[in-house]
Amino acid sequence: MERVSNAMCFGGSQGVYTHHSSATGTPMTFQVFIPEHRTNQTLPVLWYLSGLTCTHANAMEKGHYQRACAEHGVALIGPDTSPRGDDVPDDESYDFGKGAGFYVDATREPWKANFQMRSYIERELPELIADEFPMLDMNRQGITGHSMGGHGALTISLRNPGRFRSTSAFAPIVSPISCPWGEKALGGYLGNDIVAWQQYDACALIKNGARLPDLLVDQGRADQFLEEQLKTHLLEEACRKAGIPHTIRLHEGYDHSYFFISTFIADHVAWHAERLKA
């Protein structure tokens, strides 16, 4: 692992790191904010997964989570959204290929050699973090994300019961099986077997028995993707039928941008901190 940059922020450390990934076969970059802490103190961890077209830098530079993380003593990890490199296959559209890994392990050519983001996020990067950042307590993890990253946060938490003490999302894609973004991505990476898609669909996972202890979701009513792509009501219905405690907040006037995320990120950090420190 190599440190690319580091800056002091609200008394803590905002760092960017790179390493070679065995899962993707490429260099991968991620960012970590570590709040000020005492020697030998361990810190709970909040994962933040970004959305379409984003890198590790979008939330770091526009999410404004650092003040809240410093206040609550929570470290935040933000990985990239896909493999990168000249030899990595890509697509001309913004919603497929580089920047659009959808947190899946691809099974179709030419994507399967590099687009192994599920394995990277669920296995490889946590193991690296545990080895390289001994002040982080990997027994106290929460996860959140935005849009495609909200889809990633929900599905990763649902597939790994007990790993995450807290799960939240901003404007998540709640059912990729039921929207154009998801149909394109899952079909392209996995093929036409819809049964295989279900492990990457939060509503399908809940229907098939996966559970969360509780859930927080924020969604803007002025979000241009709400009706066609995000379909928040499907998640509300799935949680209600499964008896999953959930808070889904709809906000008048807010869109899909980081202005929306930065408005409510402190609420999410505080919500996670309460559960991670219990």
Nearest to 152 by CA among 80, 92, 102: 102
Write the CATH number of the domain with boundaries 2-277: 3.40.50.1820
Task: Please pick, among 147, 166, 168, 175, the residue that the annotation labels catalytic.
Answer: 147
Integer Cα distance of 278 and 274 in angstroms: 6
Integer Cα distance of 50 and 21 in angstroms: 19
147 is catalytic: yes
223 is catalytic: yes
- Structure confidence at residue 60 (pLDDT): 98
User: Strands, DSSP E only, in the chain?
Assistant: 2-9, 12-20, 27-34, 43-49, 75-79, 136-145, 164-170, 215-220, 246-251
- Structure confidence at residue 20 (pLDDT): 98
Torsions phi, psi for 42 (to 5 deg): -105, 150
Integer Cα distance of 36 and 249 in angstroms: 31
Integer Cα distance of 206 and 202 in angstroms: 6
pLDDT, one tens digit for every residue, the chain (278 residues) = 999 999 999 999 999 999 999 999 999 999 999 999 999 999 999 999 999 999 999 999 999 999 999 999 999 999 999 999 999 999 999 999 999 999 999 999 999 999 999 999 999 999 999 999 999 999 999 999 999 999 999 999 999 999 999 999 999 999 999 999 999 999 999 999 999 999 999 999 999 999 999 999 999 999 999 999 999 999 999 999 999 999 999 999 999 999 999 999 999 999 999 999 98
- Structure confidence at residue 95 (pLDDT): 98
Task: Please pick, among 166, 223, 268, 272, the residue that the annotation labels catalytic.
Answer: 223
Q: Is the pTM of this model over 0.95?
A: yes
Q: Which residues, listed in sequence order, are joined to residue 12 by a DSSP beta bridge?
A: 9
